[in-house]
Structure 1
Amino acid sequence: MRMRRHHYQQDDETGIDLTPMLDVVFIMLIFFIVTSTFIRESGVEVQRPQAESASPQDKGNILIAITGNGEIWMDKQQIDIRSVRAHVERMRVDQPDGAVVVQADEEARTGLVVQVMDQARLAGVTDVALAASAGAR
Protein backbone atom coordinates (compact mmCIF):
# COMPACT_ATOMS: atom_id res chain seq x y z
CA MET A 1 0.00 0.00 0.00
CA ARG A 2 1.28 3.22 -1.03
CA MET A 3 1.12 6.17 1.27
CA ARG A 4 0.28 9.51 0.01
CA ARG A 5 1.83 12.42 1.50
CA HIS A 6 -0.37 15.41 1.73
CA HIS A 7 1.60 18.47 1.16
CA TYR A 8 -0.26 21.59 2.12
CA GLN A 9 0.84 24.73 0.44
CA GLN A 10 0.81 27.80 2.52
CA ASP A 11 -0.36 30.94 0.83
CA ASP A 12 2.17 33.68 0.66
CA GLU A 13 -0.59 36.22 1.24
CA THR A 14 -2.08 35.71 4.64
CA GLY A 15 -2.87 39.42 5.18
CA ILE A 16 -6.02 41.41 4.51
CA ASP A 17 -6.72 42.60 1.00
CA LEU A 18 -6.89 46.42 1.15
CA THR A 19 -8.01 46.99 -2.43
CA PRO A 20 -11.76 47.24 -1.69
CA MET A 21 -11.11 49.64 1.15
CA LEU A 22 -8.99 51.89 -1.08
CA ASP A 23 -11.72 51.84 -3.72
CA VAL A 24 -14.26 53.01 -1.15
CA VAL A 25 -11.94 55.77 0.09
CA PHE A 26 -11.37 57.09 -3.44
CA ILE A 27 -15.09 57.04 -4.20
CA MET A 28 -15.79 58.98 -1.00
CA LEU A 29 -13.07 61.49 -1.87
CA ILE A 30 -14.56 62.05 -5.31
CA PHE A 31 -18.03 62.43 -3.78
CA PHE A 32 -16.88 65.10 -1.32
CA ILE A 33 -14.98 67.03 -3.99
CA VAL A 34 -17.96 67.05 -6.34
CA THR A 35 -20.54 68.00 -3.70
CA SER A 36 -18.53 70.61 -1.83
CA THR A 37 -19.03 74.29 -2.45
CA PHE A 38 -16.14 76.65 -2.46
CA ILE A 39 -16.49 80.13 -1.07
CA ARG A 40 -15.12 82.68 -3.44
CA GLU A 41 -13.94 85.83 -1.83
CA SER A 42 -14.25 89.26 -3.37
CA GLY A 43 -10.57 90.03 -2.99
CA VAL A 44 -10.63 93.27 -0.99
CA GLU A 45 -11.64 94.14 2.57
CA VAL A 46 -14.30 96.81 2.94
CA GLN A 47 -15.64 98.70 5.96
CA ARG A 48 -19.27 97.55 5.98
CA PRO A 49 -21.93 99.75 7.53
CA GLN A 50 -23.49 98.57 10.78
CA ALA A 51 -27.16 97.71 11.17
CA GLU A 52 -29.14 96.48 14.16
CA SER A 53 -31.29 94.27 11.94
CA ALA A 54 -28.35 92.54 10.20
CA SER A 55 -28.67 88.76 10.08
CA PRO A 56 -26.32 86.11 8.72
CA GLN A 57 -27.10 84.69 5.30
CA ASP A 58 -26.15 81.07 4.73
CA LYS A 59 -26.12 80.84 0.98
CA GLY A 60 -24.14 83.90 -0.11
CA ASN A 61 -21.90 82.24 -2.64
CA ILE A 62 -21.06 85.10 -5.01
CA LEU A 63 -19.44 88.06 -3.31
CA ILE A 64 -19.06 91.48 -4.91
CA ALA A 65 -17.11 94.15 -3.02
CA ILE A 66 -17.34 97.88 -3.65
CA THR A 67 -14.66 100.07 -2.10
CA GLY A 68 -15.04 103.65 -0.94
CA ASN A 69 -13.26 104.99 -4.01
CA GLY A 70 -15.55 103.17 -6.48
CA GLU A 71 -13.56 100.01 -7.25
CA ILE A 72 -15.54 96.80 -7.84
CA TRP A 73 -13.92 93.50 -6.87
CA MET A 74 -15.04 89.96 -7.69
CA ASP A 75 -13.13 86.72 -7.36
CA LYS A 76 -9.99 88.55 -6.17
CA GLN A 77 -9.77 90.80 -9.22
CA GLN A 78 -10.85 94.33 -9.92
CA ILE A 79 -13.53 94.59 -12.60
CA ASP A 80 -15.47 97.28 -14.42
CA ILE A 81 -19.18 97.92 -13.86
CA ARG A 82 -19.86 96.79 -17.44
CA SER A 83 -18.45 93.32 -16.77
CA VAL A 84 -20.30 92.61 -13.50
CA ARG A 85 -23.15 90.86 -15.32
CA ALA A 86 -20.80 88.60 -17.31
CA HIS A 87 -18.81 87.67 -14.19
CA VAL A 88 -21.97 86.82 -12.24
CA GLU A 89 -23.28 84.70 -15.12
CA ARG A 90 -19.96 82.84 -15.31
CA MET A 91 -19.92 82.18 -11.56
CA ARG A 92 -23.54 81.01 -11.59
CA VAL A 93 -22.57 78.11 -13.85
CA ASP A 94 -20.81 76.50 -10.86
CA GLN A 95 -23.52 77.42 -8.35
CA PRO A 96 -26.85 77.93 -10.12
CA ASP A 97 -28.90 78.51 -6.98
CA GLY A 98 -26.34 80.70 -5.22
CA ALA A 99 -27.12 84.16 -3.94
CA VAL A 100 -25.18 87.36 -4.55
CA VAL A 101 -23.95 89.38 -1.58
CA VAL A 102 -22.82 92.94 -2.29
CA GLN A 103 -20.26 94.12 0.27
CA ALA A 104 -20.28 97.88 -0.10
CA ASP A 105 -17.99 100.15 1.88
CA GLU A 106 -19.57 102.81 4.08
CA GLU A 107 -18.11 105.47 1.78
CA ALA A 108 -19.27 103.84 -1.49
CA ARG A 109 -21.63 105.81 -3.71
CA THR A 110 -25.23 104.64 -3.50
CA GLY A 111 -25.64 104.92 -7.26
CA LEU A 112 -22.78 102.49 -7.88
CA VAL A 113 -24.19 100.02 -5.34
CA VAL A 114 -27.58 100.12 -7.08
CA GLN A 115 -25.93 99.62 -10.49
CA VAL A 116 -24.03 96.55 -9.23
CA MET A 117 -27.19 95.07 -7.71
CA ASP A 118 -29.05 95.75 -10.96
CA GLN A 119 -26.35 93.99 -13.01
CA ALA A 120 -26.58 90.96 -10.70
CA ARG A 121 -30.34 90.82 -11.18
CA LEU A 122 -29.95 91.14 -14.96
CA ALA A 123 -27.63 88.12 -14.78
CA GLY A 124 -30.56 86.06 -13.50
CA VAL A 125 -29.94 86.15 -9.75
CA THR A 126 -33.14 86.68 -7.81
CA ASP A 127 -31.55 86.73 -4.34
CA VAL A 128 -29.30 89.78 -4.05
CA ALA A 129 -28.37 90.96 -0.55
CA LEU A 130 -26.45 93.91 0.83
CA ALA A 131 -23.89 93.05 3.53
CA ALA A 132 -23.80 94.88 6.85
CA SER A 133 -22.08 94.32 10.17
CA ALA A 134 -24.29 93.40 13.12
CA GLY A 135 -24.84 95.92 15.89
CA ALA A 136 -25.28 99.67 16.09
CA ARG A 137 -22.67 102.32 16.71
Structure 2
Amino acid sequence: MSRRILSEASRAVAGDDSPLQAIDLTPMLDVVFILLIFFIVTASFVKLPGPQVELVAAVSAVAKKPAMLVAIDRHDVIWMDKSPLADNRIKFALARLQAENPRGSLVIQVDKAASIGRLALVSGIAGQLGIDDISVSTRHD
Protein backbone atom coordinates (compact mmCIF):
# COMPACT_ATOMS: atom_id res chain seq x y z
CA MET A 1 0.00 0.00 0.00
CA SER A 2 2.80 2.43 0.81
CA ARG A 3 4.21 1.75 -2.66
CA ARG A 4 0.90 2.83 -4.18
CA ILE A 5 0.87 6.13 -2.22
CA LEU A 6 4.42 6.88 -3.29
CA SER A 7 3.63 6.24 -6.93
CA GLU A 8 0.55 8.49 -6.76
CA ALA A 9 2.60 11.25 -5.17
CA SER A 10 5.28 10.96 -7.82
CA ARG A 11 2.66 11.19 -10.58
CA ALA A 12 1.21 14.33 -8.96
CA VAL A 13 4.59 15.98 -8.96
CA ALA A 14 5.17 14.95 -12.53
CA GLY A 15 1.90 16.63 -13.58
CA ASP A 16 -0.16 13.53 -14.29
CA ASP A 17 -3.91 13.63 -13.83
CA SER A 18 -4.38 11.91 -10.52
CA PRO A 19 -6.34 12.37 -7.28
CA LEU A 20 -3.37 14.06 -5.56
CA GLN A 21 -2.72 17.29 -7.42
CA ALA A 22 -0.46 20.10 -6.30
CA ILE A 23 -2.12 23.00 -4.44
CA ASP A 24 -1.93 26.34 -6.19
CA LEU A 25 -0.61 28.94 -3.72
CA THR A 26 -0.92 31.96 -6.02
CA PRO A 27 -4.31 33.23 -4.68
CA MET A 28 -3.11 32.90 -1.11
CA LEU A 29 0.05 34.87 -1.88
CA ASP A 30 -2.06 37.57 -3.56
CA VAL A 31 -4.15 37.94 -0.40
CA VAL A 32 -1.03 38.06 1.78
CA PHE A 33 0.50 40.81 -0.35
CA ILE A 34 -2.73 42.82 -0.34
CA LEU A 35 -2.90 42.57 3.46
CA LEU A 36 0.75 43.57 3.73
CA ILE A 37 0.15 46.66 1.58
CA PHE A 38 -2.95 47.52 3.64
CA PHE A 39 -1.05 47.36 6.93
CA ILE A 40 1.86 49.40 5.57
CA VAL A 41 -0.46 52.14 4.32
CA THR A 42 -2.57 52.31 7.49
CA ALA A 43 0.49 52.26 9.74
CA SER A 44 1.68 55.50 8.19
CA PHE A 45 -1.52 57.26 9.36
CA VAL A 46 -1.05 56.31 13.01
CA LYS A 47 0.65 59.21 14.77
CA LEU A 48 2.47 58.46 17.98
CA PRO A 49 2.61 61.22 20.55
CA GLY A 50 6.38 61.09 20.73
CA PRO A 51 8.50 60.99 23.84
CA GLN A 52 7.00 61.92 27.18
CA VAL A 53 8.19 65.29 28.37
CA GLU A 54 8.10 66.82 31.82
CA LEU A 55 6.67 70.32 31.55
CA VAL A 56 8.23 73.26 33.32
CA ALA A 57 6.15 75.10 35.89
CA ALA A 58 5.40 78.68 34.85
CA VAL A 59 6.54 81.36 37.26
CA SER A 60 4.07 83.92 35.96
CA ALA A 61 1.02 81.65 36.01
CA VAL A 62 -2.05 83.12 37.66
CA ALA A 63 -3.96 80.71 39.84
CA LYS A 64 -7.69 80.62 39.21
CA LYS A 65 -9.59 82.07 42.10
CA PRO A 66 -12.11 79.81 43.77
CA ALA A 67 -15.75 80.16 42.91
CA MET A 68 -18.33 81.85 45.10
CA LEU A 69 -20.35 79.09 46.69
CA VAL A 70 -24.01 79.30 47.72
CA ALA A 71 -26.05 76.38 49.04
CA ILE A 72 -29.81 75.88 49.30
CA ASP A 73 -30.88 73.07 51.62
CA ARG A 74 -34.03 70.96 51.65
CA HIS A 75 -35.78 73.47 53.93
CA ASP A 76 -35.15 76.29 51.38
CA VAL A 77 -32.58 77.94 53.65
CA ILE A 78 -29.82 79.75 51.73
CA TRP A 79 -26.29 79.27 53.07
CA MET A 80 -23.09 81.27 52.43
CA ASP A 81 -19.81 80.88 54.29
CA LYS A 82 -21.30 78.13 56.47
CA SER A 83 -24.01 80.39 57.85
CA PRO A 84 -27.70 80.74 56.92
CA LEU A 85 -28.86 83.95 55.27
CA ALA A 86 -32.12 85.81 55.57
CA ASP A 87 -33.72 86.83 52.27
CA ASN A 88 -32.92 90.52 52.83
CA ARG A 89 -29.19 89.73 53.33
CA ILE A 90 -28.65 87.68 50.13
CA LYS A 91 -27.86 90.68 47.93
CA PHE A 92 -25.35 92.13 50.41
CA ALA A 93 -23.62 88.79 50.92
CA LEU A 94 -23.32 88.18 47.16
CA ALA A 95 -22.02 91.72 46.64
CA ARG A 96 -19.37 91.11 49.32
CA LEU A 97 -18.32 87.81 47.69
CA GLN A 98 -18.16 89.51 44.31
CA ALA A 99 -15.99 92.32 45.70
CA GLU A 100 -13.57 89.72 47.08
CA ASN A 101 -13.54 87.77 43.82
CA PRO A 102 -14.66 90.03 40.92
CA ARG A 103 -13.99 87.50 38.15
CA GLY A 104 -15.10 84.44 40.05
CA SER A 105 -18.04 82.31 39.07
CA LEU A 106 -21.05 81.58 41.24
CA VAL A 107 -21.78 77.94 42.02
CA ILE A 108 -25.17 77.17 43.53
CA GLN A 109 -25.62 73.82 45.28
CA VAL A 110 -29.31 73.00 45.46
CA ASP A 111 -30.85 70.12 47.39
CA LYS A 112 -33.22 68.08 45.24
CA ALA A 113 -36.01 68.72 47.76
CA ALA A 114 -35.55 72.52 47.61
CA SER A 115 -37.98 74.65 45.66
CA ILE A 116 -36.99 76.04 42.27
CA GLY A 117 -38.13 79.48 43.42
CA ARG A 118 -35.18 79.75 45.81
CA LEU A 119 -32.77 78.94 42.99
CA ALA A 120 -34.46 81.57 40.81
CA LEU A 121 -34.16 84.12 43.64
CA VAL A 122 -30.40 83.59 44.09
CA SER A 123 -29.64 83.52 40.37
CA GLY A 124 -31.79 86.62 39.80
CA ILE A 125 -29.96 88.59 42.49
CA ALA A 126 -26.62 87.43 41.07
CA GLY A 127 -27.71 88.63 37.64
CA GLN A 128 -28.62 92.05 39.06
CA LEU A 129 -25.13 92.31 40.54
CA GLY A 130 -23.53 91.51 37.18
CA ILE A 131 -22.42 87.97 37.96
CA ASP A 132 -22.68 86.28 34.57
CA ASP A 133 -21.00 82.93 35.23
CA ILE A 134 -23.60 81.04 37.27
CA SER A 135 -23.50 77.25 37.60
CA VAL A 136 -25.81 74.83 39.37
CA SER A 137 -23.93 71.98 41.02
CA THR A 138 -25.29 68.50 40.31
CA ARG A 139 -24.33 64.96 41.25
CA HIS A 140 -23.40 62.50 38.51
CA ASP A 141 -25.12 59.13 39.00
TM-score range, shorter chain: 0.5 to 0.7
Equivalent residue for 1:64, pick from 53, 64, 70: 70
> Which is bigger in relative contact order (C-alpha 8 A, separation at least 6)?
1
Instruction: Report the equivalent of 1:53.
Output: none
TM-score by length of 2: 0.52
Whether 1:84 aligns to 2:84 is no
Distance in 2 separating the partners of 1:84 and 1:78: 10
Bigger strand share = 1
Unaligned runs of 5+ in 2: 1-61
Unaligned runs of 5+ in 1: 1-34, 40-60
Distance in 2 separating the partners of 1:80 and 1:38: 27
CA distance 1:81–1:37, shift in 2 (3 Å): farther
Bigger helix share = 2
The answer on whether the counterparts of 2:71 and 2:108 sit within 8 Å (CA) in structure 1 is yes
Instruction: Report the equivalent of 1:122.
Output: 128
Instruction: Report the equivalent of 1:74.
Output: 80
TM-score by length of 1: 0.54
Give runs of ≥4 in structure 1 deviating > 2 Å. 35-39
The answer on whether the counterparts of 2:65 and 2:101 sit within 8 Å (CA) in structure 1 is no
Q: Identical aligned pairs, as a percentage?
A: 25
Larger radius of gyration: 2
